[in-house]
Structure 1
């Protein structure tokens, strides 16, 4: 493909509560065996993009560890590859990334030293499958300056946390409103963009001159009437996991057969770093229904409508319902957990009871700051 890829994975927000205390949102576990960033990385390699940069910043240790080798996503080894960029003190700058545009600007050398004519920019917290070649083809056909991948949201309850767009019948974006308090629009930006590399360099340098740092506010919104910005409609599954409720709902979506089949049985595949773990073990007395149980788990109790990540122990007579249990958690005997997210490395003592009664409850017990 005639493009390089950039994945923005440096952000953090308080809407993830305790879950983002020790990891970047892009490193959040998804669907038992994956990380959120795996979906963007898989889309890049499946679209034949050979050269991809991941821009990280906040709590990046586990994310950088996950990205330690490009072999899992099969990026080009002789030409291209996977690059991880963190904030770096230079003679010109000693700042952390002050926004999405600033993170791109501080890594301008990557853009200038590349030769591909186009850039695909994606966020690291989106769960979806997309052939970026189709977006690029649409971009070229429309003679667009910038193409934004958009999605029509049926559920309007969280629409205020997205950028919403107004489009003509031809697909041209006429208005962009970033995280509005009120709106009648239902089409949102997914945080995926296609732009010509030289134009991106020009816009970033102009924004830096004016001390502007945000890609959406200071480039998309500012140039909406100056540049030709088009929207490419995504009509397949897409979710953004940047709140606790959306993270919980997205994982629960994978308990639906059609969602699992779409991601894991239909071409193209989703790839991730592989760990050599034994298959899940179900001991006498285990009762598992409609759940995802990952490698390395040992189950002795009851698990219903839940997602169990890697290396989890479920004790005797314990009951797990409508919950997400993250990596390396230990659930003692006779515990009861319902409507909860149990943080990784937590140790839930025997006879404990945790129930999320007014929404999802996050459980953190004896959790060392690791992984």
Structure 2
């Protein structure tokens, strides 16, 4: 594919509460064995994009560890490769990234030293499958300056988290409203864009000259009448995990057979860094219903409608219901958890009880392990 890829994975978000205290949102575990950024990386690899940059910033240690080898997504080639950019102090700049456009500006040399004519920009917190090649074909066919991938949302309660767009029947974007308080529109931007490389360099340099730092507000919104911006409609599964409720709902979606089949049984595949762990072990008396249980887990109690990530211990007579249990969690005997997200590394003491009323609650327990 005649494009390079850029994944924006540097943002932080208070709507994730305690979940983003020790990791970037792009590093959030999803569907038992994956990280959020795996979906964008896999889409890049499956679209035959050979050169990809990941721009990180907040709480990047976990994300950088995950990206320590490019082989899992097949970027370890002589040509291209996977590049991870973090903010650096230079003679010209002593700032952290002040916005998405500024993060691109501080890494402008990556764009200038590349030779591919197009750039695919994606966010690291989207859960979806997409052939960027088809978006590029649409971009070329429409003779667009910028193409943005959009999705019509059925759940209107989520719309104010995103930029909403209106367009003509031909797909030309006429209006972009970033995170409106009220709107009648239901089509949102997914944070995926295709743009010609030289035009992107020109727009980023112009924004930097004017001390503007945000890609959406300072480029897309400002140039919507000056540049030809088109919308490519995504009609398959897409979710953004940047709030606690959306993160919980997205993981619970993977308990649905059609969603699991779409991501894990249908070509192309989603790839991730593989850990060498034993298969899950179910001891005598264990009951598991409609759940995802990952490698390295030991289950003694009852698990229902839940997602268990790697290396989790469920004690005797414990009940885990409608929960997401992140990696390396120990749950003591006779505990009851319902409608919870348990942070990784937590140790739940025996006889504990946590129940989320309505919205899921986040459980963080840093106790010594009691066997």
Residue pair 1:344, 1:367 contacting (<8 A) in 2 also: no
Tell me by how many angstroms 1:358 deviates: 3.2
Residue pair 1:102, 1:208 contacting (<8 A) in 2 also: yes
Structure 1 counterpart of 2:124: 124
How is 1:1-371 mapped onto 2 (pairs within 5 angstroms)?
1-366=1-366
Tell me by how many angstroms 1:77 deviates: 1.5
Q: Secondary structure at the match of 1:285?
A: coil
What is the CA–CA distance in structure 2 between the aligned matches of 1:228 and 1:187, rounded to whole Å?
Answer: 18
Q: Where do 4+ consecutive residues of structure 1 move more than 6 Å?
A: none
What is the CA–CA distance in structure 2 between the aligned matches of 1:261 and 1:59, rounded to whole Å?
Answer: 32
Q: Secondary structure at the match of 2:54?
A: strand
Q: Secondary structure at the match of 2:198?
A: helix
Residue pair 1:46, 1:131 contacting (<8 A) in 2 also: yes
What is the CA–CA distance in structure 1 between the aligned matches of 2:264 and 2:320, rounded to whole Å?
Answer: 25
Q: Secondary structure at the match of 2:122?
A: strand
What is the CA–CA distance in structure 1 between the aligned matches of 2:117 and 2:72, rounded to whole Å?
Answer: 26
Residue pair 1:343, 1:367 contacting (<8 A) in 2 also: no
Deviations, residues 53-72 of structure 1 (Å, cap 9, x unaligned): 00000000000000000000
Residue pair 2:349, 2:367 contacting (<8 A) in 1 also: no
Q: Secondary structure at the match of 2:92?
A: coil
The TM-score with structure 2 as length reference comes to 0.99
Deviations, residues 87-146 of structure 1 (Å, cap 9, x unaligned): 001111010000000000000000000000000000000000000000000000000000
Residue pair 2:348, 2:367 contacting (<8 A) in 1 also: no
Residues 367, 149 of structure 1: alpha-carbon distance in 2 compared, 3 angstrom cutoff: farther
Tell me by how many angstroms 1:76 deviates: 4.6
What is the CA–CA distance in structure 1 between the aligned matches of 2:315 and 2:105, rounded to whole Å?
Answer: 51
Residue pair 2:126, 2:238 contacting (<8 A) in 1 also: yes
Residue pair 1:3, 1:117 contacting (<8 A) in 2 also: yes
Tell me by how many angstroms 1:246 deviates: 0.1
- Structure 1: gaps (5+ residues): none
Tell me by how many angstroms 1:153 deviates: 0.4
Q: Secondary structure at the match of 1:158?
A: helix
Tell me by how many angstroms 1:367 deviates: 6.8
The TM-score with structure 1 as length reference comes to 0.99
What is the CA–CA distance in structure 2 between the aligned matches of 1:16 and 1:170, rounded to whole Å?
Answer: 37
What is the CA–CA distance in structure 1 between the aligned matches of 2:252 and 2:335, rounded to whole Å?
Answer: 21
What is the CA–CA distance in structure 2 between the aligned matches of 1:170 and 1:222, rounded to whole Å?
Answer: 21
- Structure 2: gaps (5+ residues): none
Q: Secondary structure at the match of 2:170?
A: coil
What is the CA–CA distance in structure 2 between the aligned matches of 1:310 and 1:335, rounded to whole Å?
Answer: 19
Residue pair 1:301, 1:315 contacting (<8 A) in 2 also: yes
Q: Secondary structure at the match of 2:6?
A: strand
